[in-house]
Structure 1
Amino acid sequence: MSQKTDYCISKHAVVGLIKSASKQLGQYGIRVNCVSPYVVATPLMCNMIDQEVAEIEKMHEQMTCLKNMVLKVEDVAKAVLFLASGESGYITGHDLVIDGGFTI
């Protein structure tokens, strides 16, 4: 099985899990969500594809709808904090995609 197939299977499993869990746990006031970020040029990613941060960011900036910006770890952290906060109190069963329009 290719890595892309493995990734797709596991990604859809997580999204299915949050949807199912949100239905089961909603009666207790428990919200269940997930975050699906685009590629972030972390040290792990740089090592995986043997490229420098600037190279990864340039390549991915060209592939998204939002230009002159790249996704940073802090952006993902802010999204997670939002979903964990009271500001998102009526959001459950949601997959927050943070990809600059890549999946459009």
Structure 2
Amino acid sequence: MDNITEAEHCCSTDSERKSHHSDKVKANLITRLNRIEGQIRGVKGLIEKDTYCDDVLNQIAAIQSALNGVGKLLLEGHMKSCVIERIQAGEHEVVEELLTTIQKLMK
């Protein structure tokens, strides 16, 4: 997994929270998501061609793994910057927010 420094990923704590990914991180995420988008289109094509179910399921597993990779990358950056910054600012509710997000990712 790519290492993300605080300078590369930072979330603001104002009312409109945003992440500020470096160009490198953003390009990496976009590349991964474009690849996943292509994989999804490929699965659609497999279904249209009546491809053997096990082959389609294996492709779906690969897509889920790729999505998990994107999620892990985002989670790492979020924890190393946004969460730390908000805790340092006294916003301890971020821990509950993070736990809820992790629960959703682990479903």
Do the two structures share a fold, i.e. TM-score over 0.5? no
Q: Which fold has the larger relative contact order, with Cα–Cα distance below 8 Å and residues 6 or more apart in sequence?
A: 1
Choose 1 or 2 for highest CA Rg: 2
Pick the structure with more helix per residue: 2
| Bigger proportion of residues as strand | 1
TM-score under structure 2 normalisation?
A: 0.37
